[in-house]
Amino acid sequence: MKTLIIGSRRSELAQTQSYYIRQRLLDQWPDLTVELNLFDTQGDLNRHDPLPAIGGKGLFTLELENALRERRIDLAVHSLKDLPVEDGPGLSVIAIPEREATNDVLVSRVAARLEDLPAGAVVGTSSLRRAAQFLALRPDLRVKDIRGNVDTRLRKLDDPEWGYDAIILAQAGLNRLGHADLSHAHPIPAETILPAPGQGALGVQGRADDPETTHYLQPLDHAQTRAAVTAERAFLAGLGGGCSLPVGALATCQDNRLYLTACVGQARGEHLIRLQTEGSLEEAALLGRQLANQALAQGAQALLEYHELASAKQNGSAPSRAAEKKR
């Protein structure tokens, strides 16, 4: 009897996602044995500092990827938006199941829409992408960093001592944790805030030289979801960026056509570039790269360099030579 070991972060959401993949595997292969091995990642251990300040590739994935290479686990389940756009050495995203909801939600007892929040309201988010987009719409709002798992953030919202009027979360995470019917969670349309590239999708990562695990995982892969997230992540890769940048992207599929909308913003909302394109599903990666080139031609490079300079100043590190030249 074959046994597969799944590596998972220790958080409730990560375990929920890993048990979902475990059940999908058992439904497909009843004679399989699937076990979980839990890990603490750098992103989980530091719950206090803002994500951009401690960010970089591998913030939530490095420990799992090392365990894969060392053959302590056979596969790792990630929120795809947390995975670097480039595969780590010797690794591959073997399966991308059909994605959950892609949108963000405004969780607030004050208003049901960002547009209706009172002037100067405090919005909790650790995402530069979200801040860049809602500040472009409502520059009067105040951003306050918030960390912790979903339940911790919901408690902070309801505790007046933290001072939040609203927080922004991913719909997919609420759904997976059983909060789909939360009465004060209000969906945010993509026209207002585009999601992170790959948001709502899971990436099941394995070793590139492990055909047996690939064989077991292949039936879980969803072709349209893979095409959509491929376009979104190709846009991000074309900008040379990571998951902490103020970049949003959403691709949808209809009748073998793929429709991609993306944006690049300044974290303080002072400038936002938004673009659209479409093509066949087979062109997913090409469409993402082409849209990234269009964004760069419209000034996205300056926005990203501004972000890099600001992050370097905040972290006390040296900016890249390219960014330094723009000062």
Render pLDDT for 229-238 as a digit per residue (tens, 0 to 9): 999 999 999 9
Q: What is the pLDDT of residues 44-66, one digit of tens each?
A: 555 555 544 545 555 668 889 99
Determine the residue type at 179: H
pLDDT at 100 over 80: yes
At 49 the pLDDT is 52
Which one is predicted more confidently, 319 or 271? 271
CB 52 within 8 A of CB 244: yes
Mean pLDDT of 68-76: 96
| Average pLDDT score, the chain | 89
Q: What is the pLDDT of residues 256-270, one digit of tens each?
A: 899 999 999 988 888
pLDDT at 90 over 70: yes
Q: Which residues are tagged catalytic?
A: 82
Q: pLDDT band for 241, please (50, 70, 90 cuts).
A: low
Q: pLDDT band for 290, please (50, 70, 90 cuts).
A: very high
Q: pLDDT band for 40, please (50, 70, 90 cuts).
A: confident
Between CA 78 and CA 178 the distance in angstroms is 19
CA 81 to chain centre: 3
Q: For the beta carbon of residue 49, count every other beta carbon within 10 angstroms.
A: 13
Collapse the DSSP code of 22 into the 3-class scheme (helix H, G, I; strand E, B; otherwise coil) and give the result: helix
Determine the residue type at 271: H
At 111 the pLDDT is 97
pLDDT at 145 over 50: yes
pLDDT at 321 over 60: no
Q: What is the pTM of this model?
A: 0.89
Mean pLDDT of 5-9: 95
At 244 the pLDDT is 65
Q: What is the pLDDT of residues 178-199, one digit of tens each?
A: 999 999 999 999 999 999 999 9
CA distances from 112 to 107, 116, 167, 183, 223 (A): 8, 7, 12, 10, 35
Q: pLDDT band for 144, please (50, 70, 90 cuts).
A: very high
Burial class (CB in 10 A: 0-12, 13-18, 19+), 293: middle
Q: Which of 43, 48, 34, 33 is nearest to 10 (CA)?
A: 43
Between CA 153 and CA 96 the distance in angstroms is 28
pLDDT at 147 over 90: no
